[in-house]
Amino acid sequence: MSAFTDRVDAALADRQLKIAVERTAGTAEAKRATAVAAFSDFDAARKRAAAIKDHVIEHLGHYLVEFERNATAAGAVVHWARDADEACRIVINLCQQAGAKSVARSKSMLGEEIGLPHALAEAGIERVETDLAEHIIQLADEPPSHIVWPAMHKTREQVSALFRARHADPHVEETIAAMAESARRHLRDKMLAADVGISGANFLIADSGQVCTVTNEGNAELSLVPPRMHIVTAGIEKLVPSMPHAVHLLRLLARSATGADLTQYTTFYAGPKRAADADGPDAMHIVLVDNGRTRMRSHGLAEMLRCIRCGACMNHCVVFRQVGGHAYGSTYPGPMGAVITPAIDGLNAETRDLAHACTLNGKCREVCPVDIPLPTLLRGWREKSWREGLEPVSARMGIGAWSRLAGHPWVYRRAVGLGNWLLRRIGKRWLHAIPFASGWTRHRDFPAPQSNASFVERYARGER
């Protein structure tokens, strides 16, 4: 058993987790369906979105240079990071140069990907999360379990208990509004006193050097406006050529993520505070992070760089809905995570499992607003894992035997007939005793066949 299957077993046994995931993913699924039905020609819009992203990925060098030139002209300092360590080093150095004791951080999956929370803790810099869900998981000392709702795995009852245990002046009434007030009392002064603000970016606009962030709580703005210095960390795939392209993608992002027409807060900004501005940071830095993205581009995973991190693929994934995000054991869970994680961490005995945690039902591709062929990319990892000999011996022997059998149709038909005959006699009573099949039979029923004839034989006879 791998660490992955252990985590999956633990998740399947956790009834609270199932309730929490279903509440949020079920609501998101229903709201997205309503929003998409009300959108005229969603399919054409997502094809255009895919074309915008493909164009940028193909001309990445050009748009990166254009963005750097325009962001610099607006007064920002642009830094380049090859990998997670270099990105963290740049951010920590900037914080230390600013003499920062605390940072107000706005939720960013890139920040999680590069391990920024850990790097800040190691540098002795206090981290104040401005996103409510990030605050919840920081209190619980847990990683995010979803890219849009990091605390999706927690029920409101669990959050209430956590706030009562950790907040100095917790809520009295058992309502969500009272719990939000409890968090506000705990966080507000710390947020406003932070020396440095750190946020991610939803889009980087090449022809203006602007950064765009979308949130539902205004938390990105809390990390942008009050602190003296603002640092943006962003993956290089976040580029778009110009504002109309960003707006087109924004319309799809909000609908796919939460079913809303637009998020509550959508902010575009460039450079630090100017003389005429009422507020804003004195200095602004943008850290552009590769961390495997150029490798993905040149190794057959360019389509994955279209991803706008809406989370729709995980909300609609039958596996994610059963096990939640932590079972994947990586920053990015669900179908998109199963493709990205081996690209960032390398394909190995642990990450190979992710591509197998998929039924290939195609729902993720159907709902993806940038039309990423996730099932095809997952199959690509499976094939690579097979070629590199990472599949377990039992799977290699089983599939090897099956392929030899399938190569001889006459023998195959006889074997299927014999198998049917046997199953009809021994039924499921014996199946659980087959040692190498327990991974399959432990959680699944295997009803006895209805007749000795195979599907092909019954189909040929016209049985429907």
Interface residue list for ligand SF4 (CB under 6 A): 256, 307-313, 336, 367-370, 372
DSSP at 69:
H
Which one, 373 or 449, has the nearer CB to ligand SF4?
373
In whole angstroms, the minimum distance from the beta carbon of 109 to ligand SF4 comes to 10
Contact 238, 204 (CB under 8 A): yes
167: which DSSP letter?
-
329: left (phi over 0), alpha (psi -120 to 50) or beta: left
Distance in Å, CB of 26 to ligand SF4, minimum:
17
Give the β-pairing of 265-269 and 210-215: antiparallel
Tell me how far, at minimum, the Cβ of 217 lies from ligand SF4, in Å. Answer: 20
Nearest approach in angstroms of CB 334 to ligand SF4 is 7
Beta bridge partners of 283: 229
Q: Which is nearer to ligand SF4, 355 or 370 (CB)?
A: 370
Residue 195 CA, chain-centre distance (Å), reads 29
CB of 253 to ligand SF4, least distance (A): 8
Both tokens of residue 443? 């959680």
Distances (CA, A) of 411 to 116, 247, 289, 417, 418: 58, 60, 55, 10, 10
Nearer to ligand SF4, 104 or 147 (CB): 147
Based on CB atoms, which residue is closest to ligand SF4, 282 or 366?
366
**Contact indicator for 107, 134 with CB cutoff of 8 Å:** yes
Nearer to ligand SF4, 147 or 416 (CB): 147
Residue closer to ligand SF4, measured from CB, 105 or 363: 363
CB of 370 to ligand SF4, least distance (A): 5
Measured from the CB of residue 265, what is the shortest distance to ligand SF4 in angstroms? 20
Nearer CB in complex with ligand SF4: 170/369: 369
CB neighbour burial string for 153-175, b if at least 16 within 10 angstroms, e if fewer: bbbeebbbebbeeebeebbeeee
CA 173 – CA 387 distance, rounded (Å): 58
User: Dihedral through CA 102, CA 106, CA 109, CA 113, nearest 10?
Assistant: -10
